[in-house]
Structure 1
């Protein structure tokens, strides 16, 4: 059990260093709600960088979660991310700390669930066992928010939907010296925002197989992209975190 946990931890650590380039992704859905102020042909103005930075999730916004900014090294590594199939690039961008399409302003955060603390009177062994158990339950996420001019958000989401259909059979992502093989991209659903695409992606890295969740939601002229992975190997959609981010956007 410990050997399995340590192996998953090593895989996850590699994923974090790749700006959360992990072993599987999540689901697909479209909610074609088009409010009057977002009607075709009507111009929308993007938020400024300063405005967007105030609307991304911050430490304290999400109970039992840690929110931090990605390091310069992680951002630089994310910029090197590529796919062996050109049609899959929008998916790679969404999984990494990279903007989808061409936003006027973009910002990102790393989020992780916080483990429960062991009892005060727990023995050293019990604390160690609790630590391993908590590690297995840890969920790591990237939260990217972009603000777009005109129809840019709709176009970026449409590109993701098209990429999901074209790349359902899999592709290989490369970032730096690390390669992750996506073996399957399965559609899922997310109810929220004006429209959304989501995928459960099964990936394989160094022989370890797992699933992660990718969800991108449009709210007005903003796009929110979440990529999540659990050290347990199978990841559920981080709905609470996505809902919190959408609520903060107003």
Structure 2
């Protein structure tokens, strides 16, 4: 799969089985190790632990917590049924410790849970967009929600945090369609300090031997619910800086989680 193919897929919002694998193109043979990963993510010093008796929400309950069109202005909200994987079976990496990173990016539960709900939230196209490039100058955020019994949400956050450290030198991933992607480096970022606990990280992804692109993911725990956010700018795949995750989307989504 050539990079141009990946761009066309993005243009039609066909992110497919795993957003990283299809959005960023196929792998190359180069690899780069790094020792400059910071302390994994950022957690609030006063992070509130969910009660030991906390019960996980079922999928219909999670779907009710996802943002709707009326709840976030300036964005178009769609379900993630056609653009995000439906289960973890569709997401494969070559390092088990990296699975939570790939799952978080794909809107799946990062912890020991298969049930999740997801949607896509895209900024409305700029007024006056007259060509494809202008129309593609939009950022889409993939949002995933998962819920856990007892301290499962805390364990999910730890799995992501540990993954940032363990996968600093990169990993490979494969979608169900057998299209490969290669993350060459993972670095910890400063989180938004929202919710009870936050882990944020940036992944450097090989662009079919034509340089690397940066993609940022943020995972936030609020009680026993975990929200994941991953933003892509369709017209800016070769950017040296990751697209910012819209603060308005994060704030609005967390406000719906009790």
| TM-score, normalising length: structure 2 | 0.79
Question: Among residues 46, 51, 62, which one is paired with 1:33 in the alignment?
Answer: 46
| Alignment CA distance shift 1:104-1:10 (3 Å) | closer
Question: Among residues 10, 27, 38, which one is paired with 1:12 in the alignment?
Answer: 10
* Structure 1 position 143, deviation (Å): 0.6
Distance 1:240 1:77 in 2: 28
1:168 aligned onto 2:168: yes
Runs (5+) with no aligned partner, structure 1: 119-125
Verify the 8 A CA contact 1:145 1:223 in the aligned structure 2. yes
Give the equivalent residue in structure 2 for 1:188.
189
* Structure showing the higher helix proportion among its residues: 1
Give the equivalent residue in structure 2 for 1:240.
248
Larger Rg: 1
Question: Among residues 205, 208, 222, which one is paired with 1:206 in the alignment?
Answer: 208
Greater Cα offset, 185-194 or 157-166: 185-194
Verify the 8 A CA contact 1:23 1:201 in the aligned structure 2. no
Give the equivalent residue in structure 1 for 2:157.
157
Give the equivalent residue in structure 2 for 1:94.
104
Distance 1:54 1:172 in 2: 34
Determine helix, strand or coil for the equivalent of 2:15.
helix
List structure 1 segments (4+ residues) > 4 angstroms apart after TM superposition.
5-8
Higher relative contact order (CA 8 A, sep 6+): 1
* Structure 1 position 101, deviation (Å): 1.7
Distance 2:14 2:201 in 1: 18
Q: Deviations over 1:122-172 (max 9, x none)?
A: xxxx822xx52341x311221110111100000011011001000011111
Verify the 8 A CA contact 1:212 1:230 in the aligned structure 2. no
| Alignment CA distance shift 1:160-1:179 (3 Å) | same
| Alignment CA distance shift 1:73-1:246 (3 Å) | closer
Within 5 Å, give how 1:35-50 maps onto structure 2: 35=48, 38=50, 42-50=52-60
Within 5 Å, give how 1:222-233 maps onto structure 2: 222-231=225-234, 232-233=236-237
How many residue pairs get matched?
Answer: 231
1:132 aligned onto 2:130: no
Distance 1:146 1:192 in 2: 17
* Structure 1 position 104, deviation (Å): 7.8
Give the equivalent residue in structure 1 for 2:33.
none
* Structure 1 position 110, deviation (Å): 1.7
Distance 1:47 1:113 in 2: 29
Verify the 8 A CA contact 1:196 1:218 in the aligned structure 2. yes
| TM-score, normalising length: structure 1 | 0.81
Distance 2:6 2:180 in 1: 16
Verify the 8 A CA contact 1:170 1:184 in the aligned structure 2. yes
CA RMSD, aligned part only?
2.8
